[in-house]
Amino acid sequence: MSNFPVKIRGQVHQRGQIKELLVLLTVTLLLPFLCFAEESGFVQNGEWPLGLEPDFLVPIDNPITQSKVLLGKRLFFDKRLSKDKSISCATCHDPAQSFSNGKTVAEGVLGLKGTRNVPSVINRLFGRAQFWDGRSETLESQALAPLLNPSEMAMSKELILERLKADTVYQQLFEDAFDSVPTLDGVSKAIASFERTLLSDSTPFDRYEWNGEKNALSESAIRGLMLFRGKARCSTCHIGTNFTDERFHNLGAGEGEGQKDPGLAQVTKNSADFGKFKTPTLRNITLTAPYMHDGSLETLEDVIVFYNQGGRPNSNLDKEVKALELTNQEKADLLEFLKSLTGPIISVNVEELQALTQ
């Protein structure tokens, strides 16, 4: 399973008994297995993947360390971080579905439903603002929000700390990662550190584009790539090796003639931002249906039809969203190219991330 080294301090401190240390050692070594025991997905460790540019920023006050990632990994898969202990971060961000959940909108404790589709957390190492509306500037601030949201995990700050402090394994992991008892600041930094290791690439497209493997893409997918960069105008917003400009656009997606969800305007309080949502990555797009901020488009075919018709007209429609007039063959070719953007998900080696930040 995980290759993350486990650091056990050589002194027993106040525990005073070798037996307790051996128990702690055994449990800690089993952490990677325990983390995934009740989850359907699994993430291998790996090296920096083919096709991603190592151009990212890690906060100065939260450098990536092995101990933080191990702690964040356990927190991410721990259902005790929800009020009724029924869901974890990984319930909505399932590794088997590219860290999304395959449902129209988020579902929290007691079956409560949110109003937006669950975005994937892969490649957020390259991200800027978080959430569809960009309300969190960092992964650290994003990490705590679902835990405290009454419609998601419904925890209180006090209950989070109470449960963590009652767990001897967490006591040791926080000591190793932060030299402290469990804290909310540590929770947010550890989860963010783990999420920054989650990368996906090495797709058929990457093998074709970066390794020169001309047989990696079908003739249809190659035609789709040309459309993606040309007539279909996809690369206007889905740019770079992560296929996103990380900006906000109004496509007319959503219910009714415009949008009922204010999107970015809820954050900026600027009416010109009404209905704008962040451009998602297209990495592993075949695994993250349904699509758009509200999950209103069930398939990639639906998405292509939506863009082909020029989105849905409204007063804030992005000027770059225009009718495309794609033929049926061109739609099929574009779909084949989009399918070529799905690849394996890895938790990239911490040592490599550390080296790239120096």
Residues annotated catalytic, as ranges: 152
- Distance of alpha carbon 182 from alpha carbon 192, whole angstroms: 16
| Six-digit token string for 90 | 């990984």
DSSP state of 93: S
CA distances from 307 to 88, 226, 253, 285, 311 (A): 34, 17, 10, 16, 5
- Given a contact cutoff of 8 angstroms between Cβ atoms, the answer to whether 114 and 108 are in contact is yes
User: In this structure, what token pair is assigned to residue 54?
Assistant: 């190592």
**First CA to last CA distance, the chain:** 28
Q: Which two tokens stand for residue 37?
A: 């025991």
Do you know the residue count of the chain? 358
**Contact between 294 and 117 (Cβ < 8 Å):** yes
Q: What is the DSSP code string of 142-180?
A: HHHHHHH-TTTT---HHHHHHHHHT-HHHHHHHHHHHSS
Q: Which residue has 């297995």 as its token pair? A: 33
> What kind and span of H or E run contains 186?
helix 184-196
Q: What are the C-alpha distances in Å from 207 to residues 42, 44, 62, 156, 227?
A: 24, 20, 33, 46, 19
Whole-angstrom distance, CA of residue 232 vs CA of residue 255: 24
DSSP 216: G
Identity of the amino acid at 183: T
